[in-house]
């Protein structure tokens, strides 16, 4: 197997890793209780997803 003859510099390593970072999650607003929630997931506060109760949350229905 071939081996590298010279080591890569810090700048070349950084250029390669420039796209490896994670982007922060942008929360959306729950239309039922107006609390922030993750996209495409049921609301942790009220348990609604797409206008339907799928999880029993803290609020009473």
Q: Is residue 33 part of a domain?
A: yes
Model-level pTM?
0.54
Could you tell me if residue 36 is inside a domain?
A: yes
* Cβ 51 vs Cβ 31: under 8 Å: yes
Query: In the prediction, which pLDDT does 59 show?
Result: 53
Q: Is residue 19 a part of any domain in this protein? A: no
Number of domains in the chain: 1
Residue 16 belongs to a domain: no
Q: What is the pLDDT of residues 1-44, one digit of tens each?
A: 899 999 999 999 999 999 999 989 899 999 999 999 999 999 99
* pLDDT band at 56; cut points 50, 70, 90: confident
> Does any domain span residue 45?
yes
In which band, very low, low, confident or very high, does the pLDDT at 60 lie, cut at 50, 70 and 90? low
> In this structure, are residues 55 and 46 in contact, taking their beta carbons and an 8 Å threshold?
no
Instruction: Indicate whether 15 belongs to any domain.
Output: no
What phi and psi, each to the nearest 5 degrees, are found at residue 52?
A: -125, 145
2: in domain? no
On whether the CB atoms of residues 53 and 61 are closer than 8 A, the answer is yes
Full domain range(s) for residue 39: 28-61
- Within 10 A of 57 (CB to CB), how many other CB atoms are there? 17
At 51, is the pLDDT very low, low, confident or very high (cuts 50, 70, 90)? confident
* Domain assignment of residue 22, yes or no: no
């Amino acid at each position: 197997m071939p081996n590298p003859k010279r080591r890569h510099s810090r700048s070349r390593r950084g250029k390669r890793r420039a796209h490896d970072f994670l982007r922060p999650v942008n929360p959306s607003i729950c239309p039922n209780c107006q609390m922030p929630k993750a996209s495409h997931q049921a609301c942790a506060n009220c348990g609604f997803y797409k206008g339907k109760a799928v999880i029993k949350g803290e609020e009473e229905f």
